[in-house]
Chain A
Amino acid sequence: MIQKLKFKPKSRVREFIGEKLIALNAFAALIAILLIFAFVFKEAVPVFTDSYIQEDASFDKLIFQQEYYEGRPAKWSWQPNSEAPKYSLYPLFLGTLKAALIAMLFAIPLGVGAAIYASEFASRRLREIIKPAIETLAAIPSVVLGFFALMILATVLQETLGLTFRLNALNAGIALGLAVIPIVFTVAEDAMTSVPRSLRDAATALGANPWQVSLTTVLPAAMPGIAAGVVLGFGRAVGETMIVLMASGNAAIISASFLDSVRTFSATIAAELAEVVFGSTHYTVLFMIGSLLFVFTFLINLGGDVILARLKERLQGRIG
């Protein structure tokens, strides 16, 4: 007969507490996002409810042109610190858009192009140089990219193009594009390399050469992934702060030229939050801008994730 050992009975209480503790922590991300939502929006709500604040910054005053001076035509203007404070969001919106567009114009050809090369043309050796290089680019802190744009890129642009404003949308946009390239590259390259081998083999077996396989099979199949990369990159471009803060000139002007200085939503918050009085109109509007940024990037990222999820389903459906 085998003698039984005296085992310590398991503590159900400890298991229960342990599990609940882990679960509680697991909800941290969820609670965090809800709290961010709540607390940022909370400080912005007075735009809709507080009549004092609405004198200068009611919601339609933020959006539409206002007749700030009698007799002068209505216009948009962002001048929170002047005697007659003006809170139009349009100049900031335009600035954000300009910088982001330039960033995408720069990042999409480079990012997608490099991804296509890495996925479809490059040898294994080359790929092992390209991917770490992109990861290195991704690792550069945005403040360093802003520094580079401010000190070096601005001078180069000004001298080659003969610009009036040293810091402008183009300058910030290019640096922003550098920050976005890794996102576009990673998502697009991932999508292309995830195209099932069986699809490529099928095309090859029908006589297609490698480029034809890429063009006719891989690129179409990965297109949603490439699109998702672009969408997520755009989200990053819109939300990025330090680069535009340092390199865009921070002038809230309305112009069609990409060579003028701009001011983006994020840079506005960063530049002005330090000096506002807690609870003032300016403070409230800054939080309003923050809420808009939050909603906008939330929607963009949601869109990007949805596209990626659907792409994954499609690709997996084809194999299975």
Chain B
Amino acid sequence: MNHQAATATPTTRPGAIVTLEFHPKTRGHIPRGLTLAAVLIILVILAVIIGNILIGGISTISWEFLSHPPEQGMEAGGIFPAIFGTVALVILMVIAVVPVGVMTAIYLHEYTPPTSRTTRLIRVAINNLAGVPSIVFGLFGLGFFIAFVGGGLDSLFYAEDGGPVWGQPAIVWAALTLALLTLPVVIVSTEEALRTIPPELKDASYALGGTKLQTIWRIIIPHAAPGILTGSILAVSRGAGEVAPIMFTGAAYYLPYLPTKLNDQFMELGYHIYVMATQSPDVEATKPLLYGTVLVLLVLTFILNSVAIMIRSRMRKNRAGS
């Protein structure tokens, strides 16, 4: 047998085996280094942001800070009303968004075949809803909820000469606006949970004479509960952090009262940060309160997200295991 380099002129006899000479291969050290650098840069920036906020704000955090209202034009006191307002806002939002989101996911999963036109239409709508800029939600909140719905309620139920009752910024309108914004989050999370339900479980319920609604209520929803919970928590985390949708629909910088009625305005952590950071007459004096507020919002967000992710990963492990 003749062995010849592939680069040699072919004078081989028929039947001879020709060795091919391969060039030394790149092992990708440079790309590896570059992409690792990308990762490290991101991690460093993340650490800087969190560290800076932590250091700047930790000294402000105290029980008084969390439980007292602000004083002296945000130079002293605490942010309790903003915390209260955020919690109230988010609770209203959850009441609105979770049932609608869960029912949407159930409808898509249980009632319509996956390729039907209805399904595709709803999915396109969900995807688009997820992509709408938050300020456009704010515009919608103003133009639809406050002007149209609120204004409509006022003209139907209240005298012309009295001031606006529902047709003005209010916590209910802000909550509904946020509910629309976070609807895709709840739907996606619930759908992921619905997909983990083995069809045999539903079959067993039907075979025993259960109706579709009974099966949904007794078997499907309990099984999807972790996913629904995850979606709700992620929605809360998102809702607590968004400012643009609530700027014109109900958030206020300083209120002497806490929101107790649906048409009250409210203070809110994110909005507070925005106004304090951009419109304080004395930046240095309000800095402690500002950093403290940012830290509170960040910690709140992180705790919510971590809990949601823990529930979700446990749900995924269960699915893989069983």
Contact = CB atoms under 8 A, between A and B. Distances in A.
Interface of A: 7, 10, 14-15, 18-19, 21-23, 25-30, 32-36, 39-40, 42-43, 109-114, 116-118, 120-122, 130, 132-137, 139-148, 150-152, 178, 181, 207-212, 214-215, 232, 235, 238-242, 245-246, 266, 269-270, 273-274, 278, 286-287, 290, 293-294, 297-298, 300-302, 305
Interface string B53-69: 10000000000000000
A114 B42 CA distance: 8
A32 B129 contact: yes
A121 B134 contact: no
Interface residues of B, number: 82
Contacts of B103: 21-22, 25-26
B49 interface: yes
Nearest to B30: A211
Interface in B13-69: 22, 25-28, 31-32, 34-39, 41-43, 45-46, 48-49, 52-53
Given A278-B147, A305-B127, 8 more contacts: A26-B104, A26-B106, A30-B121, A117-B38, A136-B302, A139-B237, A144-B294, A215-B31
Contacts, number: 251
Nearest to A150: B277
Given A113-B38, A140-B301, A30 B125 contact: yes
A133 B44 CA distance: 10
Contacts of B309: 132, 135
24 contacts: A15-B213, A29-B129, A32-B180, A36-B136, A36-B180, A39-B148, A111-B38, A117-B32, A122-B39, A141-B240, A143-B274, A144-B53, A146-B277, A178-B49, A211-B32, A239-B132, A269-B138, A269-B139, A270-B247, A274-B247, A287-B139, A290-B136, A294-B133, A305-B127
B135 A148 contact: no
Given A22-B103, A137-B46, A209-B27, A118 B39 contact: yes
Interface in B120-134: 121-122, 125-134
A179 to B, nearest CB: 11
A225 B209 CA distance: 46
B143 A42 contact: yes
Nearest to B245: A241
B242 A141 contact: yes
A36 B107 CA distance: 23
B95 to A, nearest CB: 14
Interface of B: 22, 25-28, 31-32, 34-39, 41-43, 45-46, 48-49, 52-53, 99-100, 103-104, 106-108, 111, 121-122, 125-140, 142-144, 147-148, 180, 183-184, 187, 209, 211-213, 237, 240-244, 247-248, 270, 273-274, 277-278, 290, 294, 297-298, 301-302, 305, 309
A133 B43 contact: yes
Nearest to A269: B135
B128 A43 contact: no
B209 to A, nearest CB: 7
Contact of B52 (A7, A19, A39, A148): A148
A140 B126 contact: no
A118 to B, nearest CB: 7
A144 to B, nearest CB: 6
Nearest to A137: B46
A51 B241 CA distance: 41
Contact of B274 (A14, A114, A246, A298): A246
B235 to A, nearest CB: 13
B248 A23 contact: no
Nearest to A11: B211
Contacts of B126: 29
Contacts of B139: 40, 43, 269, 273, 286-287, 290
